[in-house]
Amino acid sequence: MSVTVITGCSTGFGFLAAKRFAERGDHVFATMRNPEGKNKPHADALLAFAAEGGYKIDVVDLDVTSDASVNTAGEQIVTTAGAPDVVINNAGQMFVGLAEAFSSEELAHQLDINVVGIHRVNRALLPSMREKGSGLIINVSSVAGRMAFPFFAIYHASKWGVEGYSAGLRRELASSGIDVTIVEPGPFSTELFPQSPTPADPEGRGKTYPEVVNQTWEAMGANFDSMFQDPEVNTDPALVVDRFVDLVDMTPGTRPLRGTVGLDFGVEANNQRDAEFDVGFMEAMQMTDFVKLKTD
């Protein structure tokens, strides 16, 4: 029985992924913040699903912004089931609005959730995975980690950070038999958009921008709403879970560094081009041992 750890399982991709991997026969550790409080209905729904189907899902309290919470959860998981076979770093949040209007503390919080949070989880679980000598880490980024729109600068900073972190980590772990890959969803109809924090902006800096900026900001929200209601645009979050499953089922050593899911705004073409560059760059640096995943 494979052991699969998924963060951010209260809603969206994480909630669906917990169910899908449990149906496949995995022992799923579905992590989320405050499963006995705010997220209790979501935790209870997963546990009821497992009980009804005879699946194995453990709901674990894990806040990716807390070292203590992540370390406690990691110890619980490894003690209960041993080293994970798959870790899906899915937890995240999207801050949107004019970059200048965000305080430095707000920016730091966005990075803490989306970048440092992934690092905390990996640090808690990697020792056991390296000791076992195998495993897969899937880091959920976004097409926003490979391009840039106005009003998403703070979010872009976090997802570009996830991209660089993941690419470097993949090289460092290859000789230990641990694979790292990135999933880059486009816009999907999850709680990510409705729950996106905007800048507090007590100084009112946003109001000092040219009118075209504020008009575009207002129109952008309506455009995304229209996209989610357009039957020609598939924004079903199950597509992302399908990608998780496909990556898990791929032969170790054949998984790509990154790949998009859904509306990609042309990012996938850039990914294909950059994949060739990445390999050539590592060869030029005479670091080919950091490219090939150890599989024996």
Give catalytic residues, as residue numbers.
10, 141, 155, 159
* CA 248 to each of CA 129, 239, 241: distance values in angstroms, whole numbers, following the listed order: 15, 15, 11
How big is the chain by its Cα radius of gyration, in Å? 19
Q: Tell which phi-psi region holds residue 55, choosing left (phi > 0), alpha (psi between -120 and 50) or beta.
A: beta
Could you give the 3-state DSSP secondary structure of residue 274? helix
Amino acid at 89: N
How far apart are the C-alpha atoms of 89 and 142, rounded to whole Å?
12
How far apart are the C-alpha atoms of 24 and 88, rounded to whole Å?
15
